[in-house]
Structure 1
Amino acid sequence: MVLVAANLRPVITSVPPVVDGLVATFGLSAFAAGALTTVPVLCMGLFAPLGAIVSRRVGESATLALAVGLIAAGALLRSVAGVAGLYAGTAVAGAGIAVAGALLPSVVRARVPARVGPVTGIYTAALIAGAFLAAGATEPLRDALGVSTQAVLAVWAVPAIVAVVVWLAARSPSPPRGGTRVPLPWRSGAAWLGAVFMGTQSLLFYGSLAWLAAVYTRLGMDTAHAGLLLALFSATQMVTAFALPALAHRFGRRPLWTFGSVGVTTVGLFLVALAPDPFPAAPWLWAALLGLGMGGNLSLALSIVTDLAPTPREASAYTGMAFLVGYTLAALGPVALGRLTDLTGGYRAGFLVLGAVGVVTAVVGTAAARSTAARMH
């Protein structure tokens, strides 16, 4: 599960470090370059419901292996065949990420039902670590291997292939579920709480990821230090992604942990908006604060959505709906914030809006966590 999770973000985060080279090679516009990040996130939403459909026919183990295989194939395809391969491979990998990401919570619920929170924290930390590794290693690998900016993207097929092999070797095949198809729970109020929580916390993350460095480069920070700022933002996420679900599992009171995690995020967003650099260490403290909140938000959202499902069989439908709503919203968020930046001429308004979304996220996330407590008792 850890190896599978570690492959759910490198295809996305390996692009920004080499995007300037891709723009120079293919003459891409800013919109076209941005689509290399937006397309897989959008696919993560649009293709997530396929996980429940395919696993019903061939079983969860086979479907998960197929999904990670798509990630590997997409990573290879985008490294060849020019600009067409670049975008086609990105879409293929995005579809694989969608299916694998939607199925992992269901697999956890079915196979370790007594430890959903801690196991979710472990694989979420692995997911964030994979994203961090790809962001930091892609350009050094390109330089060390002496390959083009497009060719180096194939490197991230290797860990996906390893994950497929290990998954097939270590997991006994799960039988197809058969029976009546489990539809997406559109009429469930609890499912909607989970989906909106997944969507708004994702919007906070991708909005911050897109614009945090830009805030500080406009204030005079050089690009190297802005990159380190994003690295700190990513690294601190691993701490709470691992710890908060385990703490909630051990001590209970998941609504309180959820409110606190989103509250930390929201405070960080308002600080970036209203007091971005009142003293020299402030950018680093605010980035760390945002990262600590974001890591907890994601892992808690995943465990909450998983536990909202009445049965393990329905868990993949609940996560499919949450990802469909959540990542579609997340894909649109940075674009809308970019438009707001164009209109206002600065980043303050965008981060104020994100802070307001953080308040809504705290309310919705707490309500979703309460729904899981009511179901489990």
Structure 2
Amino acid sequence: MSATAAAQPQHRGTVLPQPVRVADLVAALGGELVGDGEVRIQRIAPLDSADEQTVAFLASARYQVQLGQTQAACVIVAPAMREAASQRPALIVTPDSYLYFARLTQWWAARCRPAAPSGIHPSAAVAADVQVGPGVLIGAQAVVEPGAVLGEGAHIGALCHIGAGVEIGAHTRLAPNVVLMHGTRVGARCLLHSGVVVGADGFGFAPSAAGWVKIEQLGGVWIGDDVEIGANTCIDRGALDDTVIGSGVKLDNLIQIAHNVQIGERTAMAGCAAVAGSTRIGSGCTIGGAANIVGHISIADGVHVSAASLVMSSLTKPGHYTGVYPLEEHADWEKNAATLRRLHGLRERMRNLEKKIRP
């Protein structure tokens, strides 16, 4: 074995302090236990890196071949995969193995992560009139300006900035270096990752002969409950009314939400997506990574936009929408692009030919 290979850790991921029986997992999370419930596990891992103390999951049939190669002691599978996985010492059979895996990670984290302390770090700057609920943590060098309200169990990480009058709901967690500007309201049980900025000015300028004249952004940002916002995502304040992020929304890293945007409940957006001002997105939508949505349009509930798509007009019906060309060699792309530019003329020629040949 090479020195490089020897230096690699034998186990990856978060390991439980003590092994747990598969039967205990089923008792806590449900599912059907098949096989030996006394099997003990101590880590979660993908099928291809699992060992004899690992629980793994199979979420897609295309990974079924890995079932015969994995060393996992227990595998979480859907009913259709029960027979294929039967050689494992233990199985947990559940209708949605990916959802079960998600709940298992929450169960796991609650037992592995240290409990967050409470209290205000001596280096934090907290205004005298801030309302601090029970069990609140304010980290080192955080700043909380006058009139802010911090709900029970809120966690304000180191170096966060909480603007004047900001409201933060119960058990919401802010990772280090989050900025919430004045006029922001964040609901309960939210999670904002490092680098998030909420309530910066929207991009509003009026042209004049002397240059651009700033339009002061007088609205705020309203964020519902159970929202997660990824690292370095920016949500601008409204120009007059508020920017609104509905409850249950999940935003990935590096997303731009412009002023006066409204996003409906339980919509999810992947990394590097951008939404221009005053657009309304419905509930239960998914927006793929690097998708761009122009301003002043509406998107219906239940719309799914593919990655890297450009949405330039309102989408009034639920469904899956894609606006990208598949990748191809550049020379072929140039030929197709040239043809596309002549498409209108080709259409007119075709119409004229059809008129001539029709009886």
Q: TM-score, normalised by structure 2?
A: 0.19
Return the structure number with greater helix share: 1
Could you say which structure has the greater relative contact order, defined with CA pairs below 8 angstroms and 6 or more residues apart? 1
Return the structure number with greater strand share: 2
Q: TM-score, normalised by structure 1?
A: 0.18
Larger radius of gyration: 2
